[in-house]
Chain A
């Protein structure tokens, strides 16, 4: 709204709606209410214990003031191309729960500021499957903290998922990385993976070509983190 990308006639504040809060960690899933603020996720011992990559991701969103206000639901509903949470939604294969249905991560992000949500549909919770291990690395914009490029790599018993944000119009899976890393889970394994920059974002801060380069660099760093190197 403030960017003048939308001019709705009415705005409804969801902050007071019951049932959109709470963090539940266990049974292989971390479930977080859409109204939970980034600072709560970052500060949650339960999340840190079960899914530390998500804890670190939340603690790296924007800055402290932003984390005091921003919510998980707001982030995933907005589908900002440079937001952090979408990398986790895609990279962990999360399920988006709305007031009327569940949407799989791979079907959720559609385009720039566009999701599979229908008009009036409200995100109520996000369910993140807990991998064996995962790591998120981003090249943060120095002023806003937004991800110029961010990559989350997750290992589910040898099945690798890679979620990429910042590079394209919305978050997407790095399927070529997933295949390469499933064969050879080492940082060096991403070096030979092609990252075509067609359709990538290009702006004042980073060209599409540079973003493609950053995707590989952040993927390599995320794998190194995941392996504890």
Chain B
């Protein structure tokens, strides 16, 4: 049975008719074609699917879309562009904070939320704050560097939706 919901994703309103057991991450990837939000573990552990839901970082693999009718979602596609990277994206590039890149969208969405809520941050605080995002490549060191470097460059607006 389909349910009808409206979602504002990256500032664009969408009216959707979806099966009631559809997960938010599947709405984003399959219905809206926003493939930047990744599915890693599908069990709320790895954090690759992290998006902002009404301004809070959540794991989109564990949210039923019909639970969030009328809400606002921001994905990695909504925070910057190739020509105008978000400060967090630029810092990840500058500090070589990614290798394979699979965890990166979720890592960046989580890091933006962390900076927005937790300033001032130190290295331990970044590591603790990103505990819900797993990276198999980097060993996290450069990710911590990137988050700390990006923090002073983020404006209120760049905190993401």
Chain A residues with a Cβ under 8 A of chain B: 2, 11, 13, 15, 39, 62-66, 68-69, 143-145
In the complex, what residues of B have CB within 8 A of residue A65's CB? 44, 47, 50, 57-59, 110, 132
Q: Does B63 interact with chain A (Cβ within 8 Å)?
A: yes
- What is the minimal beta-carbon distance from A140 to any residue of chain B, in angstroms? 9
- What is the minimal beta-carbon distance from B117 to any residue of chain A, in angstroms? 8
- Say which size band chain B's interface belongs to: 20 to 34
Q: Does B142 interact with chain A (Cβ within 8 Å)?
A: no
Contact of A69 with B45 at beta-carbon distance under 8 Å, contacts A13-B67, A15-B67 already known: no
Q: Does B16 interact with chain A (Cβ within 8 Å)?
A: no
B113:A64 contact, CB within 8 angstroms: yes
In the complex, what residues of B have CB within 8 A of residue A66's CB? 44, 59, 132
Residue of B nearest to A43 (CB): B117
B62:A144 contact, CB within 8 angstroms: no
Alpha-carbon separation in the docked complex, A62 to B58 (Å): 12
3 smallest CB-CB distances across A and B, nearest first, come from A63-B132, A68-B56, A143-B45
B129:A64 contact, CB within 8 angstroms: yes
Partner of B62 from the list A15, A69, A143 (CB cut-off 8 Å) is A69
- What is the minimal beta-carbon distance from A156 to any residue of chain B, in angstroms? 31
Alpha-carbon separation in the docked complex, A2 to B22 (Å): 11
Partner of A144 from the list B44, B67, B113 (CB cut-off 8 Å) is B44
Chain B residues with a Cβ under 8 A of chain A: 20, 41, 43-47, 50, 53, 56-59, 62-64, 66-67, 110, 113-114, 129, 131-134
A63:B131 contact, CB within 8 angstroms: yes
Alpha-carbon separation in the docked complex, A7 to B135 (Å): 33
In the complex, what residues of B have CB within 8 A of residue A64's CB? 57, 110, 113-114, 129, 131-132
In the complex, what residues of B have CB within 8 A of residue A39's CB? 56
- List 20 additional A-B contacts (Cβ < 8 Å) besides A64-B129, A65-B57, A69-B59: A2-B62, A11-B64, A39-B56, A63-B47, A63-B131, A63-B133, A64-B57, A64-B132, A65-B44, A65-B58, A65-B59, A66-B44, A66-B59, A68-B53, A69-B58, A69-B62, A143-B41, A143-B134, A144-B44, A145-B132
- What is the minimal beta-carbon distance from B41 to any residue of chain A, in angstroms? 8
- What is the minimal beta-carbon distance from A63 to any residue of chain B, in angstroms? 3
A68:B67 contact, CB within 8 angstroms: no
Alpha-carbon separation in the docked complex, A13 to B70 (Å): 14
Residue of B nearest to A59 (CB): B128
